[in-house]
Amino acid sequence: MTKKQRTAEAVNRLKEKYPDALCSLQYADPFQLLVAVRLSAQCTDARVNLVTPALFERFPTMQAFAAATPEEVEPYIHSCGFFRAKAKDIVNAAKTLLTEYGGVLPKTVDELCKLPGVGRKTANLLCGDIYGQGGVVVADTHCIRISGRLGLADSKDPFKVEMQLRKLLPPEESNDFCHRLVLFGREICDARTPRCAQCPLSDICPRVGVKSN
């Protein structure tokens, strides 16, 4: 089985298992998603979802964040870790969007990466979830680990994995596939104790074949 064939099988099987390929972060508009993804760096999505209701009630719009100081934002996001850097990035991103982009998120990864605190993970996720483009969100341990186990990528560097997956994934499937890898990694393909006996991909997984030899 070629990489292309294995990729197609993985896309179809995970689509069947996880038909609702939704981002687990909760948000009401594109800028709130940007904020939530920034907060999720080295923090769980579950923790971010506990923090953002009060944060977005206090700062309900991009304009409200832009008018705030980082010090005003910090108490609301303290439990997410690295709160000072995150607060500064969020405030500055709001100001940059309002002054340079008319308050509208850019539609390309390269332009989004010009915003404070926005890397390729955030940019790809925004392009995929907001604009329906072929985002490949790989700055996640689940995505990188499972892509390697399936033989779809041979690096732990997020950018290299992204470029390798872009060659294999149909653009219309890539964003949802990356969301499904997160769900799959949490439920079955665990880092330490993968549940291979329950895995819908076990017969096409090179790792399982090696273990059984």
**Catalytic residue check, 45:** no
Whether 178 and 140 have beta carbons less than 8 Å apart is answered as yes
> What angle is formed at CA 81 by the lines to CA 49 and CA 55, rounded to 5 degrees?
40
CA atoms of 120 and 36, how far apart (whole Å)? 15
Rounded distance between C-alpha atoms, residue 198 and residue 84, angstroms: 42
Torsion of CA 180, 183, 186, 188, to 10 degrees: -70
Among residues 86, 89, 129, 140, the one annotated as catalytic is 140
Tell me 130's DSSP state: T
Q: Could you give the maximum distance between any two Cα atoms of the chain, in Å?
A: 61
Which of 86, 121, 129, 176 is an active site residue? 121
CA distance 66 to 117: 15
Active site residue 140: yes
For residue 127, the SS3 value is helix
Catalytic residues: 121, 140
